Amino acid sequence: MSRHLALRRSFFIGLLLAASAAAIWKYEQLRPVYPRLVYLTGWILFALILVLTAYNVRKKLAFLPLFSSRTWFQVHVYTGLLTGLAFALHLRGRWPTGWFEGVLAGLFVGVTLSGIAGWWLSNVLPKRLTTAGGEVLYERIPVIRRELRLKAEALALQAIPEAKATTLADVYARELSGYFSAPYNFWANVFGSRRLRNFLLSSLAEAKRYYTAVEQANADQLAELIREKDAIDFQRTAQLILKGWLFVHIPLTYGLIVFSAVHVVLVYAFSGGAR
Amino acid sequence: MSDARVPSPDFDESRYERPNKDWVCGRTCEGCPCRVGPSPSGECRATTECKPQLVLKEGETKGTWKCTRSKDWGGPCETGPLPDGTCCKSIARCQPQRSLRSRRGLITRAFVAACVAGLLIALTGPWREALITPAPLSAHHSGPEFQRMAAAHANADPGLGCVACHAEAAGGFAHWSNEALKAGRASLAFAQFLEPHPKDFSRMDASCIVCHQQQSFHQADVARDTSCSVCHLEHQGREALAVVGSARCTDCHGDETQMADSAAKGRKLPAEFFLKPTTPGVVTFLARRPSAGFTKVISSFVDHHPEFRVVRANRSDLDTLAFNHALHLTGSNIPLLGGKPLECASCHRPDASGAFMQRVSFEQNCRVCHSLQFDEHNPDMQLPHGDATYVRAYLRSLPAQYAEHGTRRLGITGKNDLSRYVEEQMLRLRERTRSGELLEEQVFFGNLRQGPVPATAGYAGPGPAKFAGCATCHEVTARGTAVPLITPPVMPDRWMNHAKFNHAKHTAMACADCHAAAKSQLTSDIIMPSQHSCTACHSPRGGVSDSCTTCHTYHNPPPAAWLSGGAQ
């Protein structure tokens, strides 16, 4: 992490802690005096949720000159953490036991946890991708995979007319054709396992003593293609995860807004002098 | 993690990706999407690999069709276009797939739709009340008996739910929305959130008052009533309704403006409005409210609570019964009782609940030492206690009393023996008191302060106290020939009517820790504890609860004067 980034992160974390401490101090100061403070914390919480949701809208309106996406993301993350504090203050230390409020609180916790998980993934996975090397657009991965497959098939078949031998082609057909034809190894890549790749490389190497000279040269190139395929699978896995957590975060967010709106109606309709 | 480098794709830079599109070519996953791509509505637009171009050279009328196939498809084909100008390489059509972004949007919309549908079902179905209730009701507002009472008040069928208290619950979601808007404009307007004393005594509280009549009264000088729910939060679980913190009290009592308004109102009200109704049969010490009232700001028991009304300056016990606590507890001539010196518990015994002390009575607590024996030779002969008329009647019928005593207690049966016994006793009495009038005077007006033990006290010396005369303890007023007036003593059962106390919870302490009885020599001394003696324990430093509700109750019964029309 560059010094600039570290400084900026420290600044935001400091700002968040200061804002949290100030919010708690002010809340504790106001709580004994204002019996209806819970309504205020509720509206603040709802407003914060809407502000956080606006980040998704901002991404759709990329043409608007409203700060950079990185700035929005930083604001989104730290505002999200502050929203967690607002949620805790709104609940006043009591987890709701009713069905409706339980679902509402569950949605909020789901959004918050998925957001934190996404934040963590957004910090961890890009570094792993950088370490893995290369920079591939997710949408181009199938094309690259196809190219790798075509190259591998060509290498496997090339030896047949030249070396008059089918050993490498047989190994390819038996062990490697499925590997090159589709995305592979998702969970192994999630957990950083090299087991499958090593198995394939060893399968290729085991038949080494039967290869002709031409096959041997092609087998070496095939081994390199296996590594490249493994790398592209890792890219796909990591990028899919980076995109996939939003499949939880965003639907839960909009569900939370729907439930929150109904919660406001219920609270106001049934308040009747209640706090 | 892989250690291989990702192959650098050799892409045509003009073919940049558009991830924001909703549809992608169905062959994308195979790695060979067509260049045209699907339409915005997700239909395949694939036709042929190129659109041949008609090339007309000078002088030609028909021209030649030229293949324009792109590099992606391998460049111009060898076969070339068909004679009619159509491409010979048709593209196999595909089933376009939704993009990742589009799928996410679809899932989001589906989830929102599911939420809305679920809510519609939940809020319109018969189980909606069970679903929207934030938490179980308190035990007081649960169960069939409450349902029955609520239904009776609401003139509705038993078994009704939220509507018993929330009138707006009768309608549907549209009605709730309307009610929410109304509340948003009135009691729950934004300005109300930072209002220290929000009041809304119109909707929910009206439901409370239906059952809890007269529970809205606190003090006559309250400037603005407080909503029930400010203190009693419902839907907090089975047991939580009655838990009220001191903060709710100091909302008003800690607010200068509120207290100033209350003081201004209190000055206009008659003193009778501040008399707390007493329990019938319970004697309560009347400590009048100060003219300025108790409207100073009180934020805590330790710092701002005024001194107890009963021990404030110039308060004294107006009881006429002469009693010296110090003498009884520390006097050297006080005989032992049951082998032990007198102590507080010798006379003051807790009642059945243990909260308060039983009333001290002559028969139970005094007679054991202070017998009303007026004749030292007949210790069983005792004057009646309680009514001066009976005493006089007793004294004026002494021959008959001696005869009764001789017959019943001494077992004298012979008429002559009895007459002789009576004459002997009367003669001995006359020798000492000379006349019946003088005896009567000594009985009523004699006291120990008149010097040597009067004749009625009999022999002096150690032992139980000798009866010296009613005036020893009582205030006796002569009324000519009529029976002297003995002012009935009035000993309060309750000294602090505006607070509650429980002796049983203070048994770890000695009586003297709070009541300085050993130093009190006068009846007029009020030996009740001061606020300071309470704050030693009831304070943050002492560690025992110092909340307002430890001693006080908000719901005071309205004074009779207030109820009889004065409230307006």
Set of chain B residues whose Cβ sits within 8 Å of the Cβ of A97: 134-136, 237
3-state secondary structure of A65: coil
Q: Do A66 and A153 belong to one domain?
A: no
pLDDT by residue (tens digit) across B248-278? 788 788 888 888 888 888 888 888 888 888 8
**Closest by Cβ to B194, choosing from A34, A228, A246:** A34
Residue of B nearest to A39 (CA): B193
Q: Do B210 and B169 belong to one domain?
A: no
Q: Do B130 and B214 belong to one domain?
A: no
Mean pLDDT, all residues of chain B:
83
Determine, yes or no, domain membership for B525: no
**Closest by Cβ to A272, choosing from B194, B204, B251:** B204
Name which of A26, A29, A36 to mutate to probe chain B: the one with the most chain B Cβ atoms within 10 A of its Cβ: A36
Q: Do A78 and A160 belong to one domain?
A: no
**Closest by Cβ to B187, choosing from A230, A270, A273:** A273
Q: How many Cα neighbours within 13 Å face the side chain of B480?
A: 1
Asked if the Cβ–Cβ distance from B2 to A234 is below 8 Å, we say yes
pLDDT at B421 over 90: yes
pLDDT at B87 over 80: yes
Residue of B nearest to A127 (CA): B1
Asked if the Cβ–Cβ distance from A265 to B173 is below 8 Å, we say yes
Q: Do A149 and A261 belong to one domain?
A: no
Asked if the Cβ–Cβ distance from A135 to B104 is below 8 Å, we say no
B454 in Cβ contact with B440 (< 8 Å): no
pLDDT band at B325 (very low <50, low <70, confident <90, very high): very high
Domain containing B297 equals 204-307+545-566
Enclosing H/E stretch for A243: helix A213-244
**Distance between CA atoms of B414 and B411, rounded to whole angstroms?**
9
- Burial class, B435, CB count within 10 angstroms (exposed 0-12 / middle 13-18 / buried 19+): exposed
Name which of A28, A30, A31, A33 to mutate to probe chain B: the one with the most chain B Cβ atoms within 10 A of its Cβ: A33
**Closest by Cβ to A269, choosing from B32, B168, B237:** B168
Per the listing, tokens 């961890």 go with: A124
Asked if the Cβ–Cβ distance from A258 to B195 is below 8 Å, we say no
State the pLDDT at residue A275.
41
Kindly calculate the radius of gyration of chain A based on its CA atoms and give it in whole angstroms.
Answer: 27
Q: Do A157 and A218 belong to one domain?
A: yes
Set of chain A residues whose Cβ sits within 8 Å of the Cβ of B123: 262
State the pLDDT at residue A241.
93
Set of chain B residues whose Cβ sits within 8 Å of the Cβ of A197: 2
Q: Do B410 and B472 belong to one domain?
A: yes
CA of A72, closest CA in chain B: separation in Å?
A: 19
State the pLDDT at residue A105.
96
**Distance between CA atoms of A164 and A154, rounded to whole angstroms?**
15
Asked if the Cβ–Cβ distance from A147 to B7 is below 8 Å, we say yes
pLDDT at B197 over 80: no
* Rounded average pLDDT over B364-392: 88
B549 in Cβ contact with B244 (< 8 Å): yes
DSSP B158-171: TT--GGGT-GGGGS
Kindly give the interhelix angle for B398-408 and B415-433, rounded to the nearest 10 degrees. 130
B388 in Cβ contact with B444 (< 8 Å): yes
State the pLDDT at residue A273.
47
Number of domains in chain B: 3
Set of chain A residues whose Cβ sits within 8 Å of the Cβ of B17: 137, 139-140
Asked if the Cβ–Cβ distance from A268 to B184 is below 8 Å, we say yes
Q: Do A173 and A158 belong to one domain?
A: yes
Residue of B nearest to A143 (CA): B31
Set of chain A residues whose Cβ sits within 8 Å of the Cβ of B169: 270
Q: Do B375 and B462 belong to one domain?
A: yes
Determine, yes or no, domain membership for B244: yes
pLDDT at B143 over 70: yes
Residue of A nearest to B127 (CA): A99
Q: Do A19 and A100 belong to one domain?
A: yes
- Burial class, A77, CB count within 10 angstroms (exposed 0-12 / middle 13-18 / buried 19+): buried
Q: Which of B453, B446, B406 is nearest to B426 (CA)?
A: B406
- Share above pLDDT 90 across residues of chain A, in percent, rounded to a whole number: 40
Mean pLDDT, all residues of chain A:
87
Q: Do B189 and B210 belong to one domain?
A: no
Asked if the Cβ–Cβ distance from A273 to B228 is below 8 Å, we say yes
CA of B563, closest CA in chain A: separation in Å?
A: 26
Exposure string for A176-193, b = 16+ CB within 10 A, e = fewer: beebbeebbbeebbeeee
CA of B42, closest CA in chain A: separation in Å?
A: 17
Close Cβ partners of B93 (under 8 Å, ≥ 6 residues apart): B44, B46
Q: Do B152 and B241 belong to one domain?
A: no
Q: Do A105 and A206 belong to one domain?
A: no
Determine, yes or no, domain membership for B524: no
**Distance between CA atoms of A152 and B96, rounded to whole angstroms?**
28
State the pLDDT at residue B567.
53
CA of B369, closest CA in chain A: separation in Å?
A: 57
Set of chain A residues whose Cβ sits within 8 Å of the Cβ of B166: 270, 272
Instruction: Return the number of CB contacts < 8 Å for A and B.
Output: 213
Enclosing H/E stretch for B398: helix B398-408
Pick the range with the lowest mean pLDDT from A77-91, B237-251, B499-513. B237-251
CA of B256, closest CA in chain A: separation in Å?
A: 13
* HEC letters along B478-497: EECCEEEEECCCCCCCECCC
Tokens read off for A112: 């918050």
Backbone angle region of B59, left / alpha / beta, with phi > 0 → left and psi within -120 to 50 → alpha: left
Number of domains in chain A: 2
* Rounded average pLDDT over A266-271: 87
Q: Do B225 and B267 belong to one domain?
A: yes
**Distance between CA atoms of B407 and B453, rounded to whole angstroms?**
31
Q: Do A128 and A254 belong to one domain?
A: yes
Determine, yes or no, domain membership for B534: no
Asked if the Cβ–Cβ distance from B180 to A101 is below 8 Å, we say no
Whether this model's pTM surpasses 0.90: no
Asked if the Cβ–Cβ distance from A273 to B168 is below 8 Å, we say no
CA of A26, closest CA in chain B: separation in Å?
A: 13
**Distance between CA atoms of B141 and B147, rounded to whole angstroms?**
8
Boundary-marking domain end, from B193, B222, B237: B193
Greater confidence (B204 vs A137) lies with A137
Asked if the Cβ–Cβ distance from A34 to B204 is below 8 Å, we say no
Greater confidence (A47 vs B128) lies with A47
Q: Do A17 and A67 belong to one domain?
A: yes
CA of B13, closest CA in chain A: separation in Å?
A: 12
Highest average pLDDT, of A58-72, B132-146, B501-515, comes from B501-515
pLDDT band at B437 (very low <50, low <70, confident <90, very high): confident
CA of A96, closest CA in chain B: separation in Å?
A: 7
pLDDT at B420 over 90: yes
pLDDT band at A132 (very low <50, low <70, confident <90, very high): confident
pLDDT by residue (tens digit) across B513-535? 999 999 999 999 999 999 889 99
Set of chain B residues whose Cβ sits within 8 Å of the Cβ of A146: 30-32
Q: Do A149 and A233 belong to one domain?
A: yes
**Closest by Cβ to B176, choosing from A133, A259, A265:** A265
CA of A67, closest CA in chain B: separation in Å?
A: 20
Beta bridge partners of B24: B97
Q: Do B297 and B218 belong to one domain?
A: yes
3-state secondary structure of A271: helix
Asked if the Cβ–Cβ distance from A234 to B1 is below 8 Å, we say yes
**Closest by Cβ to A101, choosing from B134, B162, B187:** B134
Asked if the Cβ–Cβ distance from A35 to B198 is below 8 Å, we say yes
Name which of A103, A143, A193, A253 to mutate to probe chain B: the one with the most chain B Cβ atoms within 10 A of its Cβ: A143
pLDDT at A101 over 60: yes
pLDDT by residue (tens digit) across B339-353? 888 999 999 999 999
Determine, yes or no, domain membership for B259: yes
CA of B307, closest CA in chain A: separation in Å?
A: 25
Pick the range with the lowest mean pLDDT from A96-105, A261-270, B207-216. B207-216
State the pLDDT at residue B155.
59
pLDDT band at A274 (very low <50, low <70, confident <90, very high): very low
Number of C-beta neighbours around residue B406 at 10 A: 20
Beta bridge partners of B372: none
Close Cβ partners of B478 (under 8 Å, ≥ 6 residues apart): B444, B445, B484
Q: B457-463: list long-range contacts, CB under 8 Å, 24+ apart.
A: B458/B373, B458/B375, B458/B376, B459/B376, B462/B333, B462/B335, B463/B335
ipTM of the complex: 0.89
Domain containing A27 equals 3-132+245-271
pLDDT at B459 over 50: no
Kindly calculate the radius of gyration of chain B based on its CA atoms and give it in whole angstroms.
Answer: 49
Q: Do A8 and A126 belong to one domain?
A: yes
Asked if the Cβ–Cβ distance from A259 to B115 is below 8 Å, we say yes
**Distance between CA atoms of A274 and B141, rounded to whole angstroms?**
16
Determine, yes or no, domain membership for B368: yes
Residue of A nearest to B9 (CA): A144
Close Cβ partners of A49 (under 8 Å, ≥ 6 residues apart): A83, A253, A256, A257, A260
**Closest by Cβ to A133, choosing from B6, B181, B229:** B6
Beta bridge partners of B454: none
* Rounded average pLDDT over A256-270: 93
Q: Do B297 and B401 belong to one domain?
A: no
State the pLDDT at residue B1.
42
pLDDT at B310 over 90: no
Determine, yes or no, domain membership for B23: no
Close Cβ partners of B65 (under 8 Å, ≥ 6 residues apart): B52, B53, B54, B55, B80, B81, B82, B83, B85
State the pLDDT at residue A106.
96
A23 in Cβ contact with A89 (< 8 Å): yes
pLDDT band at B15 (very low <50, low <70, confident <90, very high): low
pLDDT at B144 over 90: no
Q: Do A63 and A195 belong to one domain?
A: no
Q: Do B165 and B222 belong to one domain?
A: no
Q: Do B178 and B271 belong to one domain?
A: no
Asked if the Cβ–Cβ distance from A228 to B5 is below 8 Å, we say yes
B184 in Cβ contact with B200 (< 8 Å): no
